[in-house]
Amino acid sequence: MKAFFRYLFILGSISIVLILLWASMDKLVRLSTMSNVSNGHIVQAVDLHYQGHLWLAYFHIIPGLLFLALGAYQLIPYFRVRNYPIHRTVGKIFLLLSLVIFSTAIVLAIIYPFGDWLETITTILFGSFLLFCTYKAYTAARSLQFQAHRNWVTRIYFIAIAVSTIRGMVGLFMATGNYTMQEIFGIAFLLAFALHFFLVELWIKYLAD
Ligand code: HEM
């Protein structure tokens, strides 16, 4: 039974990461071609909303893409044990990227939220928690507490990819109710982050090696 839930969790996480990789690359293309009216893309309100602060969006999304790729590499046991010096170097880059992504997420949510106050509050709450996890992951590694280090990094990765689940929730709310994207952004943020927080604690307590 434990093996079944482990595979379910791992397969679910891989799907979530792949969707987020695709959505983030698509977003980058949309943002970079937004000013070109002849490109045939339909410019949506959620894209136009970034027009005045594109650099900040790039500074969040590009490190986000690297974070997804490097985090996946770090969490696969085969790569982790194969070459420890690479694990250490990639790990430092991953933690630096985490600092950039979570800080820019908080700035975006405070200064330029697309949704309501709930998006801002949820991002401040989980963004700060993720910054705390980043600090703990680093100090645990420095003091050679490798099990604790692995748990903090697992939390960082799995809670951060909740941004992919947010997209699914937004789609679900919009398909089943008469809501605009702007109205349901905040509640989707809260539900997705709370769900990922709960699931990663279950993984760490009952399913991890
Ligand atoms: C896992 C790495 C991450 C990636 C690849 C990523 C990617 C993105 C993308 C593509 C957008 C543009 C969204 C859109 O309008 O379609 C975005 C915006 C945003 N992200 Fe992230 N993100 C990541 C992590 C996070 C985390 C951990 C948080 C919260 C703690 C966060 C909070 C935000 C916020 C608040 C916005 C602005 C939304 C708005 O316009 O109101 N992101 N991110």
pLDDT of residue 47 exceeding 90: no
Question: Between these two residues, 39 and 111, which has the higher pLDDT value?
Answer: 111
Give CA–CA dist 209/6, Å, rounded: 10
Query: Where along the chain do its domains lie?
Result: 2-207
| Residue pLDDT, tens place only, 183-208 | 999 999 999 999 999 999 999 999 99
Q: Ligand 1: which residue has its CA nearest to atom 42?
A: 105
Q: Which pair of tokens denotes residue 69?
A: 């790729």
How far apart are the CA of 2 and the centre of ligand 1, in A?
32
How far apart are the CA of 144 and the centre of ligand 1, in A?
32
| Residue pLDDT, tens place only, 65-119 | 999 999 999 998 888 878 888 999 999 999 999 999 999 999 999 999 999 999 9
Measured CA distances, 59 to 16, 103, 118, 131 (Å)? 22, 10, 23, 17
Q: Ligand 1: which residue has its CA nearest to atom 17?
A: 61
- Residues with CB under 6 Å of ligand 1 are 20, 24, 27, 46, 49, 60-61, 64-65, 67-68, 101-102, 105, 108-109, 113-115, 119, 123, 126-127, 130, 160-161, 163
Q: Ligand 1: which residue has its CA nearest to atom 35?
A: 109
Q: pLDDT value at position 37?
A: 55
pLDDT of residue 39 exceeding 60: no
In this structure, are residues 9 and 157 in contact, taking their beta carbons and an 8 Å threshold?
no
Query: What does the buried/exposed string (b/e) look like for 46-80 if buried means 16 or more CB atoms within 10 Å of the residue's CB?
Result: ebeebeeeeeebebbbebbbebbebbbbbbeeeeb
How far apart are the CA of 203 and the centre of ligand 1, in A?
24
Amino acid at 205: K
Q: Note every long-range contact of 30-38, with CB atoms under 8 Å and residues 24 or more positions apart, other chains counting.
A: 31/57, 31/58, 31/61
Q: pLDDT value at position 43?
A: 64
Contacts (Cβ under 8 Å, ≥6 apart) of 6: 207
| Residue pLDDT, tens place only, 114-138 | 999 999 999 999 999 999 999 999 9
Q: pLDDT value at position 16?
A: 98
Q: What is the mean pLDDT of the chain?
A: 93
| Angle, CA of 138, 144 and 146, to the nearest 5° | 80
| Angle, CA of 169, 171 and 177, to the nearest 5° | 95
In this structure, of 13-27, 44-58, 93-107, 112-126, the range with the lowest mean pLDDT score is 44-58
In this structure, are residues 145 and 10 in contact, taking their beta carbons and an 8 Å threshold?
no
pLDDT of residue 143 exceeding 80: yes
Q: To 10 degrees, what angle do helices 2-33 and 162-176 make?
A: 80
Residue 126 alpha carbon, nearest atom of ligand 1:
30
Q: pLDDT value at position 178?
A: 86
